[in-house]
Chains A and B, each alone.
Chain A
Amino acid sequence: MPDQLLFGMEVALNGLMAGVLYALVALGFVLIYKASGIFNYAQGVMALFAALTLVGIMEGQVPFAHLINAIFGTKIHHLGTPIPEMLDPDVTIAYFNTEGAGWISWLLGGIGNFFIWPINNFDIVLALIFTVFVMIALAWAVQRFIFRHLVNQEPIILFMATIGLAYLLEGVGELMWGAEVKTLNVGLPRGIAEGVESVTEGWFGYGFFLSRLDIVAAVIAAVLVTALTLFSQYSKQGRALRAVADDHQAALSVGISLNFIWILVWSIAGFVALVAGVVWGASSGVQFSLSLIALKALPVLMLGGFTSIPGAIVGGLIIGVGEKLFDFLMNPIIGGATENWFAYVLALIFLIFRPQGLFGEKIIERV
């Protein structure tokens, strides 16, 4: 195969990995939108907030330390010992060695390690659970103090309220945990995936470069996407969720608690945000730009349609692959950083021809 094509394939594969993550963030949007008609701009900031909280808990930081210090002139910063160390059990199980092996053992070993990891990293799992509780509390607060007062408002008002929420959350998050760039190390693997490299080396004579973190992230995202799809299609709560999405009044009249469903979806969105925050935070540090990366989910949604879960997945993959390939092809001609806008422009052009998105339903307007 010609080199150029191989490079292209490698780029596309990397794009696919990124695309799974876009799909994951987009899924958070779709869930909230379907259940409450709210287009949650704050999803990205929620990811930032979740990651900040996780880092804070793992390091045993005192919340609002800066603020307390500024007001009372104290110098508190950390609790005596980081919380996880107090809880760290002395269990370690050896990981499977997947480096340099054939692709079947590589795959099996990967799956095995996936299950061994939580046992070895009990402390991190605990911090994660803590953070999940924080996100649920946040979901409750958002519902109780903001959107309960905005029921039946126009969608665009709700949208602007979520922009306000994004600002608020960002301010609170940074007041709580400080604004400096933090490294988030939850023990996700790093470096090049030698397995992929050696396998593709054998196939094409050219080893594809894939980051191990990307692969793990893609696997986690895929698992989550599947779980959420199954949840919304087959569980009782999922059915209630779809009923609410269809018609608030009717759902109320058959005895579904709107309040509960809304808190539920905000919690799920919070959880999705946490996963996204962990994965992105692990690769590029926890900082403000994290919330901007999540903006990428918006064109994904436009492409896939705001109400469609498969749309979010397919849209994410298209954009992930598309922007990497576009950059690969056009970089020599018009210069770099096209990833900043490619997704939006693609979605815009696509929408002009199909306003309801890939999988959205066509709207028949009535008077």
Chain B
Amino acid sequence: MKDTYEPYVTEDGRQIGGVLMEMKNITLRFGGVVAIKDISFDIREGEIRAIIGPNGAGKSSMLNVISGFYHPQEGEVWFKGEKRKPMKPYQVAQQGVARTFQNIALFEGMSVLDNVMTGRLTHMKSNLLQQVMWWGGAEKEETANRERVEKIIDFLEIQHIRKTPVGRLPYGLKKRVELARALAAEPMLLLLDEPMAGMNVEEKEDMSRFILDVNDEFGTTIALIEHDMGVVMDLSDRVVVMDYGKKIGDGTPDEVRSNQDVIDAYLGVSHD
């Protein structure tokens, strides 16, 4: 297994660095069901890494392992060159991993602005006493974070719905607000769980553009799960292919496309 990589620059001028996160021999079971079986792969700094596979392949479980929501029975997660201790999801988030969800998980009782502000919570440190008094520490912190959030709101073009309650928004916009919330955390690693599920072609184009822009402008490392093969192949630098909880392919989109196992998994082949 390769431990480190030489940094390089992609054709479109993005800087790809060393290994940011590495999954080593991850196995995850729910009772007797094996969701993920002995999978290893890595995510490099600055790249867009896709995880694809048919339904039930274990992609979402993989993402949940990365964000600390599921704890694998075997295997190690390495982040920033250190082995990650078993941690709670919020600790993972505090380390700089943010994510979006397959079924939108926005806070329905709050406005768009407040939702995006929750993305900043890992950066807001003022204590209870400062909060109670408000003037001074808390207000200053609030304003500083608000400025950063407004930049992201501008970037994702959702200024006009800033004060709208999230519950009233259409699906496509909700997805964008969710992305905004994840970006507000200024994560080192951004996980996107089917960012384009249920979108029409235009919305997909918009979303692809935002993903590329995020990667380009903020240099954020992105790992995403997606069903739309066309989008995946266009967006990502490298692709992991999963099937029945196992890894069956790993490499650049072109390599994966010509991999016989991957073709079999997607086109179907008799299992005998």
Contacts and interface: CB of A to CB of B under 8 A. Distances in A.
Complex A–B touching at CB under 8 A: yes
Interface of A: 364, 367
B30 interface: yes
B102 A364 contact: no
Contact of A364 (B30, B103, B105): B30
Nearest to B105: A367
A367 B68 CA distance: 12
A367 B30 contact: no
Interface of B: 30, 60, 64, 69, 101-103, 105, 193
Contacts of B64: 367
A249 B125 CA distance: 45
Interface residues of A: mostly helix, strand, loop or mixed? loop
A367 B64 CA distance: 8
A131 to B, nearest CB: 43
Nearest to A364: B30
A367 B102 CA distance: 8
Nearest to B67: A367
Contacts of B101: 367
Contacts of A364: 30
A220 to B, nearest CB: 41
A364 B64 CA distance: 13
Nearest to B101: A367
9 contacts: A364-B30, A367-B60, A367-B64, A367-B69, A367-B101, A367-B102, A367-B103, A367-B105, A367-B193
A367 to B, nearest CB: 6
Contacts of B30: 364
A364 B30 CA distance: 9
Nearest to B102: A367
Given A364-B30, A367-B64, A367-B102, 6 more contacts: A367-B60, A367-B69, A367-B101, A367-B103, A367-B105, A367-B193
Nearest to B30: A364
Nearest to A365: B69
A179 B242 CA distance: 69
B207 to A, nearest CB: 20
A364 B105 CA distance: 17
A69 B109 CA distance: 49
Ranked 3 nearest A-B pairs via Cβ: A367-B101, A367-B69, A367-B64
A272 B11 CA distance: 74
A364 B28 CA distance: 14
Nearest to B31: A364
A367 B105 CA distance: 8
Nearest to B193: A367
Contacts of B105: 367
B72 to A, nearest CB: 15
B104 to A, nearest CB: 11
Nearest to A367: B101
A29 to B, nearest CB: 29
A364 B69 CA distance: 11
A133 B249 CA distance: 68
A124 B91 CA distance: 66
Contacts of B60: 367
B41 to A, nearest CB: 21
A157 to B, nearest CB: 13
Nearest to A362: B31
A367 B104 CA distance: 9
Contacts of B193: 367
Nearest to B89: A367
A362 to B, nearest CB: 10
Contacts of B69: 367
B68 to A, nearest CB: 11
A224 B64 CA distance: 47
A364 B71 CA distance: 13
B231 to A, nearest CB: 22
Nearest to B64: A367
A364 B31 CA distance: 11
A147 B248 CA distance: 51
A339 B91 CA distance: 43
A148 B103 CA distance: 27
Contacts of B103: 367
A367 B103 CA distance: 8
Contacts of A367: 60, 64, 69, 101-103, 105, 193
A89 B193 CA distance: 74
B9 to A, nearest CB: 35
A302 to B, nearest CB: 25
B29 to A, nearest CB: 12
